[in-house]
Amino acid sequence: MVGDVSTPEEGILASRALQVAIRVGLVLLLIAWCFTIIRPFLVPVVWGIVIAVATYNLFAALQRLLGGRAGLAAFAYATIALLVLILPALLLTGTHVDAVRELANGLLGGTLRLPPPPPAIETWPLIGEPLTSFWQLASSNLEAAIREIGPELAVAGRWLLGLVGATALGLIQFVLAIVIAAALLSNAASGGQLAGDIATRLAGARGPTYATLAVQTIRTVARGIIGVALIQSTLAGLGFLAVGQPMAGFLAMLCLVLAILQVGPLPVILPVVVYQFTVLDTTTAALFTAWCVLVSLIDNVLKPILLGRGVDLPMLVIFIGAIGGVMSSGLLGLFIGPVVLALGYTLFMAWLKDARATA
């Protein structure tokens, strides 16, 4: 019986292959372990990076105003950002949570009651009479209607309570993202150098060009699309609160979603205006209407200012990014999804363009 014969060179190659396999395995294990640890914070970290990139110029101006002290500027930046962004969000979210909780508890307990319809609704053309008839029936026989579709309403109630929890979690993640953004901005120089080194390592000589394109894309989407949507929805929500609109926070959130999707807040604002004309005096309703017209049109002024030169992006990319972001990452994904997908699309198209140029 003749055994296998191996040369010393083959033994050395086998040993080296084993060493490489062990090293690669350990590196992959370390990467997987690090990802598992950071995964709960991944969404706020990404959003913090986006905020930091989009608002760097504002931070730099603040730092110059404070004598170049990065730490003090970061503290002031976080404080101002929380006051400007979180206080309106807390105000709107509070009304949203209270209204949704009351509606959910009413659906689950069968205690929900509807007031009679305002008399003015009956005068509306086409839909006035049938809407008044249906509303009157619901206000007097809602308990029987709830018994008929009780299981479906119970499911809806549980879904609404889950929505309350998701909204609160999204708000906490937003606060964390602002703190992360402030920390990143306080070390902006070293962070920019690190990003450039990574881009060069991944893309070679074209790395800095791709890094610059990435920054432009993030600023374009974050400022010109998400920033404008936040301004529009906040102004709409404050208007809703001023006139006592029921579920003002929820309606403001719908305005935010539609604005990010590039539909605009008008589909939400228009029914609210019609409703307010039935419950407010004419002067107040007219002032509220003027405010809503301003909110609906303000994006035409803000977008050219905030977009700057920017980059060209198909609206379908923004739409898919927003929907997919919500489905994968919850409320904060509504903001992250469009940015990440737009960034991937832009870099991929730039890579294809470079490939065609060198072919």
Q: What is the pLDDT of residues 292-313, one digit of tens each?
A: 999 998 888 887 777 655 567 7
Q: Could you say which residues of the chain have pLDDT below 50?
A: 1-2
CA distances from 158 to 7, 107, 251 (A): 70, 9, 20
Span 153-197, pLDDT tens digits: 566 666 666 666 666 677 788 888 888 988 888 887 777 787 777
Q: What sign does the CA torsion over 48, 49, 55, 57 have?
A: positive
d(CA 198, CA 95): 45
Burial class (CB in 10 A: 0-12, 13-18, 19+), 358: exposed
What is the phi-psi region of residue 5: left when phi exceeds 0, alpha when psi lies from -120 to 50, beta otherwise?
beta
Q: What six digits make up the tokens of 277? A: 């004309």
Q: What six digits make up the tokens of 298? A: 């303000």
* pLDDT value of residue 288: 92
pTM: 0.68
Contact indicator for 85, 156 with CB cutoff of 8 Å: no
Nearest to 159 by CA among 87, 101, 246: 101
d(CA 276, CA 289): 9
* pLDDT value of residue 112: 56
CB-based burial, 17-39: b 16+ in 10 Å, e otherwise: eeeeeeeeeeeeeeeeeeeeeee
d(CA 271, CA 261): 19
**Terminal Cα distance for the chain, rounded:** 58
CA distances from 257 to 6, 207, 296 (A): 67, 34, 14
Task: Kindly write down the DSSP assignment for every residue of 12-48, as one continuous string.
Answer: HHHHHHHHHHHHHHHHHHHHHHHHHHHGGGHHHHHHH
* pLDDT value of residue 11: 67
Query: What 3-state DSSP class applies to 286?
Result: helix
Tokens 């062990």 belong to residue = 22
* pLDDT value of residue 143: 57
CB-based burial, 119-158: b 16+ in 10 Å, e otherwise: eebeeeeeeeeeebeebeebeeebeeebeeeeeebbeebe
Burial class (CB in 10 A: 0-12, 13-18, 19+), 338: buried
* pLDDT value of residue 1: 45
